[in-house]
Amino acid sequence: MKALPKILEALKAHKQELRERFGVLRIGVFGSVARGEETEGSDVDIYVELDLEKMTLEKYLELIEYLENLLGAKKIDLLTRDSVETIRIPYIKEEIKRTIIYA
């Protein structure tokens, strides 16, 4: 694994701010970074469980920008618990759920 330990460390260090500012209840990494297969151009796939009462579209976009800056990532793909549940291809949905590494 290359970037995963640093990403998890950064997410853990900012957990309180993520909760207070964005309503993040739980956060983790999945995809190529979680598998240790990322390349220099890879995006970072982040899974979040959110307090939806605190979330607006503006806050969601701010959260993506915040995570890009925090992690030094060119691109963050941010999936919520609800968006994962709407995936219609069972294999993909289960693969995401199975490979999430929580901070």
How many CB atoms are closer than 10 A to CB 48?
21
Q: What is the pLDDT of residues 44-59, one digit of tens each?
A: 999 999 998 888 999 9
User: Residue 102: what residue type?
Assistant: Y
pTM across the whole model: 0.89
pLDDT class of 99 with cuts at 50, 70, 90: very high
How many CB atoms are closer than 10 A to CB 85?
9
Helix (H) or strand (E) holding 47: strand 44-50
Alpha carbons 17 and 27: distance in angstroms, whole number: 12
Q: Is 34 exposed, middle or buried (0-12, 13-18, 19+ CB in 10 A)?
A: buried
Class of the domain covering 4-102: alpha beta
Q: Where are the domains of the chain?
A: 4-102
Q: What is the pLDDT of residues 28-39, one digit of tens each?
A: 999 999 999 998
pLDDT class of 41 with cuts at 50, 70, 90: confident
* 1 pLDDT more than 60: no
pLDDT class of 93 with cuts at 50, 70, 90: very high
Question: What pLDDT is stored for residue 45 in this prediction?
Answer: 96
Question: What pLDDT is stored for residue 40 in this prediction?
Answer: 84
User: Residue 46: what residue type?
Assistant: I
